[in-house]
Amino acid sequence: MRIAFLVAPEGVEQIELAQPWKAVRSHAHEPVLVSTRAGEVRAFHHLDRADAFPVDEVVGRTSADSFDALVLPGGLANPDFLRMDEGAVAFVREFFDRGRPVAAICHAPWVLVEADVVRGRTLTSWPSLRTDIRNAGGIWVDEEVTICDNGPNTLVTSRRPRDLKAFCDAFLRVLSGVAA
């Protein structure tokens, strides 16, 4: 399975990109780094610059049809940049329109709010997004991981880096159901 990892050119939380990437690859799936610009993306360890990663595909030159699922890593700046990019928001919305699984952690649900895909969905996030999610019609819960099938696709969400193991395990279970 080809799994898109959508990140902005700067600001993704490195562990929230690297750990799900490794989990996807360890289960023989193909992770693909998608961004709004070609070149490379700069990750962060909270507010400190971290590693750079090469972009595989660019929003606007690829579509959800090319992928089986989507991962939205967090970080504070990353989803804020993505939600301001119409192409990135449309790319995310495509996964919901096509019924493909989406996984989002930490601040990444900001992009889901912008894509108008949380209405009636139960999800979790970094606690400061709770009001945004509720205002967008979502049901916010404070849980390590949430899997919501109440919609056109399966949505997996988690709150923070400390929840990454549960996040990755839940997403891999969802992917195994899609592959079956």
Q: Which residues are catalytic?
A: 106-107
What is the side-by-side strand order in the sheet with 2-6? 57-58, 30-35, 2-6, 69-72, 102-105, 155-158, 145-148
Q: Are 123 and 146 in contact (CB under 8 A)?
A: yes
